[in-house]
């Protein structure tokens, strides 16, 4: 593949505690994720999936290794950026199992807030939010409050919010767990659309077997170690 990876991890390690109480959550993780790809992270509870997602999201600091995000070396046995909040706003979008929409904001405002936090004016943020809601097929729900949205609609709004600042990386933690098979498929197809059309790297932590066929590759984590992926999921 001629393109450079958007996410590149080398020998990433993370442990909690010391001595007899030490737990190695991640051990010698190496991973490259390229533009336009959707990969899955699976494994039993406690295998390190969420820890790995949080490391890539610059939420959890690893103890060792190196990490590049969109070509920038951001961690090399220590953080190389002092403003991790700014780094996340610039490079990364997040989607969660629970859509985490702010209940006192309507749909477009929930998307616009991410743009405003990155420094846009309200008018600029609103225009971007309406553009994304149209792109994801929920512009007709732009004025709806979160409590008025279906689960699938709420996740589309959450995807739009994750895209608000044009991130090259989208991290999703169990985004379809609360959805039925049809709505889960729609959400994954939308993430595929985002990956391919926006050249975004999408990384999804999931236990949801009904979406395994939606990934380019699925990596399994076991006891903090990343197993080699199978060929493209059938």
pLDDT at residue 229, rounded to an integer: 66
pLDDT at residue 234, rounded to an integer: 45
CATH number at residue 139: 3.40.50.300
In contact, 14 and 26? CB cutoff 8 Å: yes
pLDDT per residue as tens digits for the range 23-46: 899 999 999 999 999 999 998 888
Q: Is residue 231 part of a domain?
A: no
Residue 1 has pLDDT above 50, yes or no: no
Q: DSSP readout, 24-62?
A: EEEEEEEEEE-TT-EEEEE-STTSSHHHHHHHHTTSS--
Q: Is residue 153 part of a domain?
A: yes
HEC readout, 160-212? HHHHCCCCCEEEEECCCCCCCHHHHHHHHHHHHHHHHHHCCEEEEECCCHHHH
Interaxial angle between packed helices 151-163 and 181-198, expressed in degrees from 0 to 180 and rounded to the nearest 10: 20
pLDDT per residue as tens digits for the range 176-224: 887 888 888 888 888 898 899 989 999 999 888 888 888 999 999 988 9
pLDDT at residue 230, rounded to an integer: 53
Mean model confidence pLDDT for the chain = 90
**Tally of domains within the chain:** 1
Residue 9 has pLDDT above 90, yes or no: yes
pLDDT per residue as tens digits for the range 114-161: 999 989 999 999 999 999 999 989 999 999 999 999 988 998 899 999
Q: Is residue 154 part of a domain?
A: yes
Q: Is residue 124 part of a domain?
A: yes
Percent of the chain with pLDDT over 90: 65
Q: Which residue has the tokens 């993780």?
A: 29
Burial 27-61 (b: 16+ CB within 10 A, else e): bebebebbbbbbbbbbbeeebbbbbbbbbbbbebe
Residue 20 has pLDDT above 90, yes or no: no
pLDDT per residue as tens digits for the range 73-92: 999 999 999 999 999 988 99
The separation between the first and the last C-alpha atoms of the chain, rounded to the nearest angstrom, is 21
Q: Which residue has the tokens 């046995």?
A: 77
pLDDT at residue 48, rounded to an integer: 87
Q: Is residue 83 part of a domain?
A: yes
Q: Is residue 232 part of a domain?
A: no
Whole domain around residue 149: which residue ranges?
Answer: 7-226
In contact, 218 and 231? CB cutoff 8 Å: no
Q: How far apart are CA 215 and CA 36, in angstroms?
A: 11
Q: How far apart are CA 177 and CA 184, in angstroms?
A: 8
Q: How far apart are CA 157 and CA 150, in angstroms?
A: 11
Residue 107 has pLDDT above 90, yes or no: yes
């Amino acid at each position: 593949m001629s393109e450079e990876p958007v996410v590149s991890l080398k020998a990433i390690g993370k442990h909690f505690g010391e001595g007899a109480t030490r737990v190695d959550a991640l051990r010698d993780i190496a991973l490259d994720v390229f533009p336009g790809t959707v990969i899955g992270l699976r494994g039993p509870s406690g295998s390190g999936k969420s820890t790995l997602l949080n490391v890539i999201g610059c939420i959890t600091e690893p103890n060792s290794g190196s990490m590049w995000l969109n070509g920038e070396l951001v961690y090399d046995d220590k953080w190389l950026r002092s403003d991790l909040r700014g780094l996340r706003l610039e490079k990364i979008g997040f989607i969660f199992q629970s859509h985490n929409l702010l209940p006192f904001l309507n749909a477009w405002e929930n998307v616009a807030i991410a743009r405003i936090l990155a420094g846009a004016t309200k008018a600029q943020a609103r225009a971007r939010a309406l553009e994304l809601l149209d792109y994801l097929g929920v512009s007709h729900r732009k004025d709806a409050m979160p409590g008025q949205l279906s689960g699938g609609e709420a996740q589309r709004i959450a995807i739009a919010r994750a895209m608000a600042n044009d991130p090259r990386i989208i991290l999703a933690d169990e985004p379809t767990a609360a959805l039925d098979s049809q709505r889960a498929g729609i959400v994954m197809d939308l993430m595929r659309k985002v990956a391919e059309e926006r050249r975004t790297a999408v990384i999804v932590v999931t236990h949801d077997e009904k979406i395994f066929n939606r990934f380019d590759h699925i990596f399994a984590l076991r006891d903090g170690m990343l197993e080699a992926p199978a060929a493209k999921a059938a």
